[in-house]
A and B are shown apart, each in its own frame.
Chain A
Amino acid sequence: MSAKLTGDVTMRYVDLPPRAPADAVPVLLLHGFGTDFDMNWRATGWTRALESAGLRVIGPDLRGHGSSDKPVEEAFYLPEHFVADLVSLLDELGVERVDVVGYSMGSRLGWELALTMRERVRRVALGGFGPVNAFAGTDLSEPGSGDSPFDRVYRAVAALPGNDTAALAACARGQASRPFSSDPLLNGVPLLLVSGERDAVAEGAAGLAGRCGGVHVEVPGRDHGNAVSSRAFRQAVVDFLLA
């Protein structure tokens, strides 16, 4: 994994000013695997809800996604590269501290950001995420070919227009090469985990939240694909951020 392999990647981001001048902490939105900012956060009503709450909303298309560059080598997709992108973005914007809201892969990255840059993060709200290895049971030489929870996610997003399946597969392999570990726990930062009742990817979220001294909210009847747009999820997060 040589440094030159990780060369620079151009990232598109969105910065929505707060409706009224406010000194509230901005919200950094981190989308899930195979989607982008607009699909994960705008089409689902999130930007509207957060703007209505008066908050400044910042969010990238993560590398490999949306209108950002899409390298096809897995060496570009280690979690620390995403974290470095996010720190660069905050530096670029001159933002000292954010509340992080993530979904799925964006949640895992939000967790890593909070662990490594604790002083840049005030509160953390993560959806569609739990302590289990998200890639368990997946043949990463051919993601989407099996029937693991990640295979199903991969198949759903691979068909979306604008996605580059070579980049997505590389992204999956890069992230899988650093399996998530809940050790160390994310302590000392207010944490909210939200997951659909039927979300296999987020299995164990309640226990993880408890071990971190955080709170877990379950959205009845929802799965990994449709918990993200639920009003209950949005409301839980807005309440958490404004509390």
Chain B
Amino acid sequence: MAEESITFTLPDLGEGLVEATVLEWQVAVGDVVARNAPLVEVETTKSAVVIPSPQAGRIAELHAAEDQVVPVGDPLVTFAVEAADEAPRAGIVGRVPPEEARPARRVRLKPPTA
């Protein structure tokens, strides 16, 4: 079955951040991962985050070693996915899709007792 390669670059992590340090890969070459599964843990000057996989597929290549600093927009990971003519093609690059909105509520709480 034909396969195609899709490379995912380090997404814009917001707040004007231009780079991130790879802390720990959550996947290895050869792994088959689901979309939104944990992909890689990175740290910026602001925080440490786990980036979910933007793509389902087999991991073909990791472009950065752990502790390596990666500029936003540089290649991060390449997936091998089965080529499907009729299926919509996955985007090559882009932001990490935001997680679905989850319920968040506000509650008016009683005054705490001192």
Contact = CB atoms under 8 A, between A and B. Distances in A.
A159 B99 contact: no
A16 B102 contact: yes
Chain A, interface size category, equals 35 or more
Given A45-B50, A225-B48, A230-B24, A14 B103 contact: yes
Interface string B83-114: 00000000000000001001111111111111
A48 B38 contact: yes
B49 A80 contact: no
Nearest to B52: A48
A47 to B, nearest CB: 8
Nearest to A42: B99
B50 A11 contact: no
B109 A92 contact: yes
A159 B50 CA distance: 21
A59 B23 CA distance: 26
Contacts, number: 101
Given A15-B103, A225-B43, A1 B50 contact: no
Interface stretch (A2-10, A118-126, A144-152, A210-218): A2-10
Contacts of A43: 47, 49-50
Interface string A32-68: 0001000100111101110000000000000000010
Interface residues of B, number: 28
Contacts of B3: none
Nearest to B103: A15
Interface string B14-27: 01000000011010
A133 interface: no
Nearest to A228: B48
Contacts of A92: 107, 109
Interface in B32-70: 36, 38, 41, 43, 46-50, 52
Contacts of A88: 107, 109-110, 112
B47 A225 contact: yes
Contacts of B24: 230-231
Interface of A: 1-3, 6-16, 35, 39, 42-45, 47-49, 67, 78, 80-81, 84-85, 88-89, 92, 156, 159-161, 225-226, 228-231
Interface of B: 15, 23-24, 26, 36, 38, 41, 43, 46-50, 52, 99, 102-114
Given A13-B104, A47-B102, 6 more contacts: A3-B113, A6-B112, A12-B106, A13-B105, A14-B105, A84-B113
